[in-house]
Amino acid sequence: MLALIAVASFALQSPVADTSPFRALALPTANRMRSSSGAPGPYYWQQEASYTIRATLDTGPSVITGSETIHYVNHSPDALGFVWIQIEQNIFAKNSVTYQLNQPPLHFAGGAVFDFTGKGFIGGITIDRFRIGPRELARTEYGTMMRVELPTPLPPGGMVDFQVAWHFPVPPYGGGRMGRVGNRLYEIGQWYPRLVVYDDVNGWNPLPYIGAGEFYLEYGNYDVTLTLPAGYLVAATGTVQNPLVVWSPAIRRRLLQARTASERVQVVTKDEAVANGARAAVGTRVWHFTATNVRDFAWAASPDFRWDASTWNGVQINTFYRPTAAPWEEANRMARFTIQHFSETWGMYPWPHATTVEGLIEGMEYPMLTFVPSIEKREDQFWVLMHEFGHQWFPMTVGSDERRYPWMDEGFNTFIDYGAAEGYFKGTAYGDTVRRELLADFQISAVPGQEQPLITKPVEQRDLAWGAYQKPALMLTVLRDQVLGRETFERAMREYVRRWRFKHPQPSDFFRTIANVSGRDLDWFWREWVYTTARLDQAIDSVRAVGSDSTYIYLANRGQMVLPVTLELRYGDGTTETRFLPIEMWNLGDRFTARFATPKPVVGVVLDPQAVLPDVNRANNSWNR
């Protein structure tokens, strides 16, 4: 009762904001679409966009000419008077943000360069028609986005077929994500007009394609017919529907062998690739592919491809590469290991094949298909090849909004990549230490005043390699190893993948899923790591022996970030003991007295003895008598 009176009198004084690190994180209110548990709610909906595409590549001028039917189903509760269409080839057109700003290329660690201006190439897409039935629709282009007016609003539950025709010149270098080498190798993405996502959070999502931000795409089914010169081999998202037409008897025989092969079968050998490339093939060949439940479709073509194939658990693993790419003879094994590792750890790979193509693109992912360069250093080759396949989980399976939240695809992927690299190179110095790169990167990149929170949009990030890749990977590593423990963390992460498979999660869906499945309030953790640039400084103020069998360790949290504490006690007889203090130690403030029963005299104490935390000042982490 006295306490209650005291509280009442405090209430008459000036109001005090809750500044506790454990105050609730302000998330969007849960609703019937997105439940408070982090799962899709009973009324969760998303649109369907399915594509039937016919396209021809003319390798003379390197122009792709296509027509498509977009089958669009409105599962939203809203009538739609217009639709937004992505026309990303206009990143090379004069009306794009990218062209007008003409910014220097993005540089990544390891020397990868993404030049989204296509080295100054001026191209862009021409929309030859955009119709419903015979009726041409009014449209307005805004660089890489196009608004198309519907003659009558598309009602909830309604569907519509758009008839679209277009053509564009393939950039000679590429925008970082697609392009060609002369007319010998084509790596084709962002090549057909496609629906912008309409969702329950933002309505339409027509953020322009500038370069740094990737894609947010609807799921659907694809039926794609490609006409190319007869001598070209094609690798694509989806399954070949006319194998008798496009593959020789020898290729078909070897693919049959590959179905039970755990090591590569050479479907096209080096000698055959060289011979194919030298032969002048006459005429064209039509390739037919279908794909189910994917958010995009990409393809690559060359007369020079070598092709290795193997199989893991029913998934055909394909590697296509030019005869000049010697490191790629191991690529199929790397790819197979990667698909197996990610499947076993995070959820089964959902499609019939996983294919990677060697070429000029520095690393880009599409459903079932990735573009990866040839790299001399084996560890780096594995990393890029494996990383692009990691995207089959984030964002190809878990379809998050890459244009806003790169940490949810690049970051989650980079985190799982460290596990794959530790596995493939297990027992080597590289495999056993590779994850320490994250703390080394922290030292270089987490610069106070310059660092930006993870939640920053990719086109506003000054250091995308840190904010989109490395820092989120460090965040999940700390969450797994220091906060939740591996088993709890992995169970929660697998559940997030399962719940949001082929759907569109928001950050709040991720936070709520991890909290619900792990049973832990993690608002403090996400605030520090995602919404702020809080820094950690755990410190030992002093240590005192109490009686003959206890030690008091006076600890302080001197930074803005809170984390649990791991302490190593060193005894006079040379033995050591590790103690763990859970996060609740900071409930009452930034000082905590750890009271340990210590039957032997303590002569030293070390905080974070394995040096796994991004503690900005290690000088105050130890005490010696």
Please report, as ranges, the residues that interact with Zn ion according to CB under 5 A.
410
User: Who contacts 397 (Cβ-Cβ below 8 Å, separation ≥6)?
Assistant: 347, 350, 497, 501, 502
Nearer to Zn ion, 226 or 468 (CB): 468
CB neighbour burial string for 553-587, b if at least 16 within 10 angstroms, e if fewer: bebbbbbebbbbbbbbbbeeeeeeeeeebebebbe
Output the smallest distance, CB 385 to Zn ion, in A.
12
Q: Residue 405 carries which DSSP code?
A: -
Residue 444 tokens, joined = 């270089």
Nearer to Zn ion, 50 or 370 (CB): 370
DSSP assignment of 222-238, as one string? EEEEEEEETT-EEEESS
Output the smallest distance, CB 188 to Zn ion, in A.
18
Output the smallest distance, CB 504 to Zn ion, in A.
19
Nearer to Zn ion, 410 or 528 (CB): 410
- Report whether 87 contacts 67 (CB < 8 A): no
Q: In whole angstroms, how far apart are CA 518 and each of 359, 511, 566, 581? A: 42, 11, 21, 18
Output the smallest distance, CB 391 to Zn ion, in A.
6
How far is it, in rounded angstroms, from Cα 381 to Cα 414?
15
DSSP assignment of 484-496, as one string? I-HHHHHHHHHHH
Nearer to Zn ion, 307 or 415 (CB): 415
Output the smallest distance, CB 557 to Zn ion, in A.
34
Output the smallest distance, CB 366 to Zn ion, in A.
12
- Sign of CA pseudo-dihedral 384, 342, 471, 199: positive
Output the smallest distance, CB 306 to Zn ion, in A.
25
Nearer to Zn ion, 22 or 108 (CB): 108
- Report whether 533 contacts 475 (CB < 8 A): no
Output the smallest distance, CB 530 to Zn ion, in A.
19
Output the smallest distance, CB 131 to Zn ion, in A.
36
Output the smallest distance, CB 387 to Zn ion, in A.
6
Output the smallest distance, CB 87 to Zn ion, in A.
23
Rg (C-alpha) for the chain, rounded Å, is 27
Pairing between β-strand 315-321 and β-strand 306-312 as defined by DSSP bridges: antiparallel
Nearer to Zn ion, 276 or 414 (CB): 414
Residue 356 tokens, joined = 């990677």
- Report whether 356 contacts 370 (CB < 8 A): yes
Rounded to the nearest 10°, the torsion over CA 287, 292, 296, 301 is: -20
Give the residue closest to Zn ion by C-beta: 410
Output the smallest distance, CB 213 to Zn ion, in A.
12
Cα(first)–Cα(last) distance of the chain, in Å? 46
- Report the Cα 342 to chain-centroid distance in Å: 13
| Burial class for 283, CB neighbours closer than 10 Å (0-12, 13-18, 19+) | exposed
Nearer to Zn ion, 410 or 608 (CB): 410
Of 296, 72, 75, 76, the closest CA to residue 162 belongs to 72
Residue 524 tokens, joined = 């403090």
Helix (H, G, I), strand (E, B) or coil at 597: strand
Of 414, 533, 518, 403, the closest CA to residue 472 belongs to 414
How far is it, in rounded angstroms, from Cα 70 to Cα 74?
13
Helix H, strand E, coil C: the string for 165-204 is EEEEECCCCCCCCCEEECCCEEEECCCCCEECCEECCCEE
Nearer to Zn ion, 85 or 375 (CB): 375
Output the smallest distance, CB 469 to Zn ion, in A.
7
Nearer to Zn ion, 325 or 364 (CB): 364
Output the smallest distance, CB 394 to Zn ion, in A.
9
